[in-house]
Amino acid sequence: MKPTRTSPRDPPLILAFGAHPDDIEFGCGGVIARETLAGNAAHFVVCSRGEAGTHGSPAQRSTEAKRSAARLGATLEFLDLGGDACIEVRRAHVVKLAGLIRRVRAPIVLAPTPVENQHPDHTALGRMVREAARLARYGGVQALRRWPAHAIDQLLFYAITVEAEPVGVPPVLIDVSAPRIHRAWREAMAAHASQARTRHYLELQEARARVQGQRSGKTLAIALYPNDPLVFSSLTALGRAARHF
């Protein structure tokens, strides 16, 4: 796998935020693999070391996260927002996240859905990334003066569990059926080995992707939830919708 390297002048396509070391991989790892395998760069920001989890020390979890990101061809950094199970919606955190968005300058931002009935770190991070994407493009925010304002193109949410899927919001489906995409995704999830529950989670994610794939005539697809309406200049850009069986 040879993803195109990015230079400081050349921002990655994707900036993905995760609350815990394995969230990005489990929630949308296949989408990442699809883009990096096509030569588009991705950068991960992991906002805890999973220190509240039942299994795996913070050190182990961090190592696993790095390996997993490497398998997906993504770069990774950690960001401290108070620690696992302790991420609260704080304006100071939002400013940190906005600074990061300005620094990385990716057009596409991925974050966990801000749906309430799931791990509260996910909800809090999803909300804060949305607020940060807004702050990142306001010119007058003193605390962000260090970087020029940056307006992203798309904020897309990923859901790690069924409960985290926004009710009544139709997703866009990203085709991840290609075997080498599937393989990269599986291996990235499996890289989180300390997690006794990983096998279980891995199967849940594959079953979810299979459901989304089957409904759209593919083998595997991942659902993402756009924060804003999509804008097109022609109907020809819409492609083929998921067919209903």
201 binds its own copies (CB under 8 A): yes
Tell me how far CA of residue 73 lies from CA of 36, 43, 132, 223, in angstroms.
Answer: 6, 9, 25, 21
21 near its own copies (CB under 8 A): no
For residue 147, the SS3 value is coil
Among 17, 22, 40, 129, indicate the residue that binds its own copies (CB under 8 A): 40
What tokens appear for 80 in the block? 């401290």
CA angle 191, 16, 135 (to 5 degrees): 155
Pick out residues in 88-127 that bind its own copies (CB under 8 A).
88-91, 94, 108, 114, 116-120, 127
DSSP β-bridge partners for residue 77: 45
Is residue 48 within the footprint of its own copies (CB under 8 A)? no
Per CB under 8 A, the list member of 15, 23, 25, 34 interacting with its own copies is 34
Are 185 and 33 a contacting pair, CB within 8 Å?
yes
Among the residue ranges 17-25, 70-78, 165-173, 187-195, the one whose residues contact its own copies (CB under 8 A): 165-173
From 15, 19, 24, 31, residue interacting with its own copies (rule: CB under 8 A):
31
Q: Is 146 in the site for its own copies (CB under 8 A)?
A: no
Of 194, 128, 219, 200, the C-alpha closest to 160 is 200
Residue 167 lies near its own copies (rule: CB under 8 A) = yes
236 CB-contact burial (10 Å; exposed 0-12 / middle 13-18 / buried 19+): exposed
Task: Kindly indicate which of the ranges 62-70, 71-79, 185-193, 205-213 contains the residues binding its own copies, using the contact rule CB under 8 A.
Answer: 205-213
Q: Which is nearer to its own copies, 31 or 45 (CB)?
A: 31
State which of residues 51, 70, 103, 147 lies at the interface with its own copies (CB under 8 A): 51
